[in-house]
Amino acid sequence: MRKTYNGLVASDDVTCRFRKGKVTVILGGSGSGKSTLMRQVVGLEKPDSGTVHFGDRELTSLSRAELYEYRKKMGMLFQASALFNSLDVFENIAFPLREHTKLADQVIRTMVKMKLELVGLRGVEGLMPSQLSGGMLKRIGLARAIIMDPEVVFYDEPTSGLDPISAGVIDKLIVDLNEILGVTSVVVSHDIESSFKIADWIMILFFGKKIAEGTPEEIQSSEDPRVQQFIKGSPEGPIPFTRTDKDFYEDILIP
Amino acid sequence: MKTSNASMSEGVEVIIVEGEIDMHVSPKFRDLLLNVFKKKAKGVVVDLSGVPFMDSSGIATLVEGLRWSKNEGTRFVLAGLQENVSHTLKLSKLDDFFEISSTQADAISSIG
């Protein structure tokens, strides 16, 4: 896939495969094109060129209505959890079922309880999002992401902004749900420690390009200095601090 | 999903389901189950031997049956679960709440 915004290349001919039933982590720094890549994969944006395949279907050529149908097979956990502030926990999780199905109220109630049990939060149905901690909000977001029994779950930076314990809980949930439900998981992250814990497969993006992929062990032993700089979180190395090639002196003095 | 219902001489209602039970067909499955429970039989058996897949809406619909059976004092027995469905039920941690028989005949005789 290739995607540019105002001449800036956000996805530079990236090819990726997400293995069925496995956890794939897309790692990269801020502005490396992780979110852009995910938005194209789920069909929120069309690539300038390239295709997206889900099973035997090609998603970029689907109509809006067909894509809407397809998205029911995908669950998404957004970075800010994206819960409705005016709805309680129960209605937030039930929302996709009310939108897409004709299930009876009592059946929906049971399904919400089943998902809350999976994320370890049964009993908070009546609380409002404002009454929940950051870690709990993520878990509620996750219960909503899996309420339709999706085949693939996408996680956008699931542990960012969480304390280490809450982050550990989310990591464990991602792995457990992957094993229990057999779903394919795609995680966009810049959290190195968490990624190495949960991933079956890691891809590293750098300025829109895929620079490495492999098992966590393969990535760890990569000799690519860009990979080593990223996983060690070092400010010094081939990954530059600034994005522009333009000389600072010229940039300031020449209008 | 195809369904059929038969009233047995033992006072047991048998529901036979064939095909996948997912969010599209669960409402229809629930309607059938509700109508059968209204017959106030001694027991209700759901033969799932023809069901290769059931999602969480199917499980939640079976929970409806369980609730009605408690309210009505009707025995509710699931029969012939395929491995996949049995696995889904186990993962939902609800398997212990249901009476499960390996065949329809076993289920009927367990009630009679």
Question: Confidence band (pLDDT; 50, 70, 90) for B39?
Answer: very high
d(CA A75, CA A42): 10
Question: Confidence band (pLDDT; 50, 70, 90) for A246?
Answer: low
For the ranges A4-13, A87-96, A214-223, the lowest mean pLDDT is seen at A4-13
Q: Which of A76, A79, A121 is nearest to A96 (CA)?
A: A76
Q: Which of B57, B93, B94 is closest, CB to CB, to A107?
A: B57
Cross-chain Cβ contact B56/A180 below 8 Å:
no
d(CA A29, CA A237): 14
Question: Confidence band (pLDDT; 50, 70, 90) for B83?
Answer: very high
Domain residue ranges in chain A: 214-255
Question: How many CB atoms within 10 Å of residue B105?
Answer: 13
Contacting residues for B95 by C-beta, under 8 A, at least 6 apart: B86, B89
Domain residue ranges in chain B: 2-111
SS3 breakdown of chain B: % helix, strand, coil, rounded to 5? 45, 30, 30
Question: Which chain B residues contact residue A148 at CB under 8 A?
Answer: 23
Q: Which of A1, A195, A183, A156 is nearest to A77 (CA)?
A: A156
pLDDT of A251 over the 80 cut: no
Cross-chain Cβ contact A115/B55 below 8 Å:
no
Q: Which residues sit opposite B13 in a β-bridge?
A: B7, B44
Q: Chain B: nearest CA to A70, how far in angstroms?
A: 15
d(CA B30, CA B15): 12
d(CA A233, CA B67): 55
C-alpha separations of B9 from A46, B12, B14, B73 in Å: 62, 7, 11, 19
Pairing of strands A184-189, A23-27: parallel
Q: Which of B24, B6, B26 is nearest to B15 (CA)?
A: B6
> How big is the A-B interface in CB pairs under 8 Å?
47
How much is the pLDDT for B8?
Answer: 85
Q: Chain B: nearest CA to A117, how far in angstroms?
A: 9
Q: Which of A145, A63, A27, A158 is nearest to A96 (CA)?
A: A145
More confident residue, A122 or A180: A122
Summarised one tens digit per residue, pLDDT across range B43-62 is 999 999 999 999 999 999 99
> Homologous superfamily of B2-111 in CATH?
STAS domain (3.30.750.24)
Rounded CA Rg of chain A? 20
For the ranges A37-41, A67-71, A185-189, A239-243, the lowest mean pLDDT is seen at A239-243
How much is the pLDDT for B51?
Answer: 97
To probe the interface with B, which of A73, A101, A105, A107 has the most B CB atoms within 10 Å? Answer: A107
How much is the pLDDT for A253?
Answer: 75
State chain A's mean pLDDT as an integer: 88
pLDDT of A209 over the 90 cut: no
d(CA A242, CA A207): 11
Give the mean model confidence (pLDDT) for residues A125-154. 93
Residues of A with CB under 8 A from a CB of B: 97, 100-104, 106-108, 110-111, 114-115, 117, 148-149, 180-181
**Both tokens assigned to A28:** 């990269």
Residue of B nearest to A73 (CA): B23
Question: Which chain B residues contact residue A149 at CB under 8 A?
Answer: 23, 55-57
d(CA A104, CA A86): 23
pTM for the predicted model, two decimal places: 0.87
Question: Confidence band (pLDDT; 50, 70, 90) for A244?
Answer: low
To probe the interface with A, which of B54, B56, B85 has the most A CB atoms within 10 Å? Answer: B56
Q: Which of A242, A210, A186, A215 is nearest to A73 (CA)?
A: A186
Question: Confidence band (pLDDT; 50, 70, 90) for A239?
Answer: low
Asked if A212 contacts A227 with a C-beta cutoff of 8 angstroms, the reply is yes
More confident residue, A245 or A2: A2
Question: Confidence band (pLDDT; 50, 70, 90) for A45?
Answer: confident
Q: Which of A92, A90, A47, A96 is nearest to A71 (CA)?
A: A96
pLDDT of A243 over the 60 cut: no
Dihedral through CA B52, CA B93, CA A70, CA B82, nearest 10? 0
The CA-to-CA distance between both ends of chain B, in Å, stands at 28
Q: Chain B: nearest CA to A164, how far in angstroms?
A: 28
Question: How many CB atoms within 10 Å of residue A81?
Answer: 20
Q: Which of A24, A19, A56, A62 is nearest to A205 (CA)?
A: A24
Residue of B nearest to A97 (CA): B23
Indicate the residue type of A211.
I
Question: Which chain A residues contact residue B64 at CB under 8 A?
Answer: 104, 106-107, 110
Q: Which residues sit opposite A54 in a β-bridge?
A: A57
Summarised one tens digit per residue, pLDDT across range A71-126 is 888 998 987 778 999 999 999 999 999 999 999 999 999 999 999 998 889 999 99
